[in-house]
Structure 1
Amino acid sequence: MTCNLQFYKEFYLLEEDRKQNLNNSVNIPILILTGILSLHFFVFSQDANPNFLVAGKVLAAINFVIVLLCLYYLVKSFSNLASGYVYRELANMVEIRKYEKKLIQEQLNVEKVQLLFEIYIIDEFTICAKHNFEINKYRTENFAKAKRLLFISITLSITLSTLFIISIV
């Protein structure tokens, strides 16, 4: 395996790893959002000062919109809403082997066969890695938007909790 082939293979595998990391990264924000919603249900199920209820409802309404936007970007990052993401994969091994056998039959020079085969594999790695990179970039951008909104939601929830504690003291 030449250095060039190894480079393209590593880039392809890097994008595959990024795909897995993006798939796994959605779990913690969903857990945090669940905690935020639970906190809101708890706060509003308690008997609280009427002055707190006005401010609390305003904060909760703003937070509800932010949570919905956060969920939108999380779902968009995870599954692109209803359409999903279509990643490119290398051809299956049978097709690759058929191509290699075809090269062996067409070429008399073994070194030329190896060179042409490596060029073919490099092209496949390049096409797949480029396509997967674009998808992962788009997913990462949406995940970053969701994290920003999640931070705002956490801040609003802390504010709501602080107001609630002040109102019961």
Structure 2
Amino acid sequence: MERANGSTSSGFLLLGFSDRPQLETPLFVVILMGYVLSCLGNGTIILLSLRDPRLHTPMYCFLSNLSFMDLCLTTCTVPQTLANLKGRDKTITSGGCVTQLLMALGLGGVECVLLSVMAYDRYAAVCRPLHYLVIMHPQLCLHLVDHFFCEVPVMLKLACADTSIIEAEVFADLSVLMRSQ
């Protein structure tokens, strides 16, 4: 007679420092302080970039977007870490785990693309200083900032091959993700 799997867990148990619980409180304090400082620093960069008209240049536009991305990335991971360090419940649902993973990977990828755009901006400023304002005009900056959020669709448009299979895979992945939540 075969036995069926009887587990009905819909999440994961995050062990963390279960064998050294005395480390959880100091680590909680250090991570919380780092998170608060990160939020304050990135928020200050964003506010200063918006408030000071002298900082309305492509470099500061990209820098404030990078600060926003950093805020989003830390906010998608640190609160769960803090909750697991201080709280009694050390579990995360499957949907929460998948969402956190996809958010962290997606935002990390977006930061990499934004850093590449910032490198191009600095290249244009250093190597083509007389043409910089023509190359990095405000419409291009806005276009670059808008289009790093949707990497896959933009890249698919640039492909010289049939992308219908890849589009179907992305659609299926998103469907599974939405159904799991």
- TM-score (norm: length of structure 1): 0.36
Which structure has the larger Rg over C-alpha atoms? Answer: 1
